[in-house]
Amino acid sequence: MTKSHAHFLIALMAIAAAVALAAVGLDWHQSAAPKRTSTAKPRKPAQTTPKTTPASNPGAGKTIVLDPGHSAVMPAGTEPIGPGSKTMKAKDASGTRGTTTGVTEYAFMMTLARKLVPVLESRGYKVILTRKNNQTAISCAARAQVANNAKADAFVRLHANGVDNAAAKGALAICITPRNPYTAGTYQKSRLLSEKLLNTYCQVTGTENNGITEEDNMTGNNWAKVPTTLIEVGYMTNPEEDRLMQTDAYQIKIVNGIAGGLDAYFKN
């Protein structure tokens, strides 16, 4: 190889190295350089979701008959426990009384009913009372007839419990059995009403849930041709529960529990 050839090859190698370095440098700068961001405002996406509407009110178009249990004035005599029955019972009973507060069951139930009415009406329900004061003498069968005449969507009988055992506490509901000889056709709805009302009531108030009793000797239940439940909101013979039920705060819970139970029933 001559010197001229060697010089020529060296020159070519130098040029190739320079080109390679330039290429590497270009790649490095491209990867290191920050990405450009657009300053233009993004277009708003087309509206694809439908407008939401408020949930339907479960009370709309529904009629509730509230039956505040007992009264200061009791009707005299007896009546059949169901249509066509030969079994007779007193038309009403005096009810129980708070062992600590002295409040009567009939007065307590009237208080609850009066507090329930505006709450239920605010939810869209039409509300009818079987009695509007404590001086009304009305039999159990006649109370049921109020619900029948109104074609009530639910007949709620308001009561409080009383037993010899002062430790007994909590709430329960009573409805007819599937074999009821007077109004068995309402059993399924009456049972569901009892379940929804009692479960929601106990959740809201925090009281003990004593379950649902099914029996066919309750005159007011037997004469009703509409979904019916009787709720015992608590024991007035339990000193602690008696005092608690006479507080405004707890009565608000009672009312909200019953109203919520009706909502749950109609939503179902």
Long-range pairs of 164-169 with CB within 8 A, sequence gap ≥ 24: 164/237, 165/237, 166/99, 166/237, 166/238, 166/239, 167/238, 168/235, 168/237, 168/238, 169/207, 169/208, 169/234, 169/235, 169/238, 169/240, 169/241
Half-sphere exposure of 103 (CA within 13 A, CB side): 22
Selected from 3.40.630.40, 3.40.228.10, 3.40.640.10, 3.40.50.180, the CATH number assigned to the domain covering 64-266 reads: 3.40.630.40
Question: Which pLDDT band, with edges at 50, 70 and 90, does 217 fall under?
Answer: very high
Tell me the pLDDT of the chain averaged across its residues. 86
The reported pLDDT for the residue numbered 128 is 99
Q: Which residues pair with 158 in a beta bridge?
A: 68, 231
The reported pLDDT for the residue numbered 20 is 40
Residue 27 predicted with pLDDT over 80 = no
Residue 17 predicted with pLDDT over 90 = no
Q: Which range has the worst mean pLDDT, 20-24, 55-59, 207-211? A: 20-24
The reported pLDDT for the residue numbered 58 is 84
Q: Which range has the worst mean pLDDT, 37-51, 126-140, 199-213, 228-242? A: 37-51
Q: Which helix (H) or strand (E) holds 265?
A: helix 248-267
- Locate tokens 């139970």: which residue? 261
- Smallest CA-to-CA distance from 158 within 115, 222, 203, 209 is with 115
The reported pLDDT for the residue numbered 40 is 42
Enter the DSSP assignment of 134: T
pLDDT tens digit string along 31-77? 333 333 334 444 444 433 333 333 568 899 999 999 999 999 999 99
The reported pLDDT for the residue numbered 135 is 96
pLDDT tens digit string along 176-189? 999 999 999 999 99
The reported pLDDT for the residue numbered 56 is 60
pTM comes to: 0.79
The pLDDT of 87-108, averaged and rounded, is: 98
The reported pLDDT for the residue numbered 57 is 86
Q: What are phi and psi of 206, to 5 degrees?
A: 80, 5
State both tokens at 132.
């509007």
Question: Which pLDDT band, with edges at 50, 70 and 90, does 254 fall under?
Answer: very high
Pairing status of strand 88-90 against strand 228-235 = unpaired
State both tokens at 102.
């002295």
* Contact of 142 with 180, CB cutoff 8 Å: no
Q: Which residues pair with 97 in a beta bridge?
A: 104
Half-sphere exposure of 13 (CA within 13 A, CB side): 6
- Smallest CA-to-CA distance from 85 within 216, 185, 215 is with 216
Residue 26 predicted with pLDDT over 80 = no
Residue 10 predicted with pLDDT over 60 = no
Measured distance CA(156)–CA(20) in Å, rounded:
92
pLDDT tens digit string along 78-88? 999 999 999 99
The reported pLDDT for the residue numbered 268 is 80
The reported pLDDT for the residue numbered 214 is 99
The reported pLDDT for the residue numbered 203 is 99
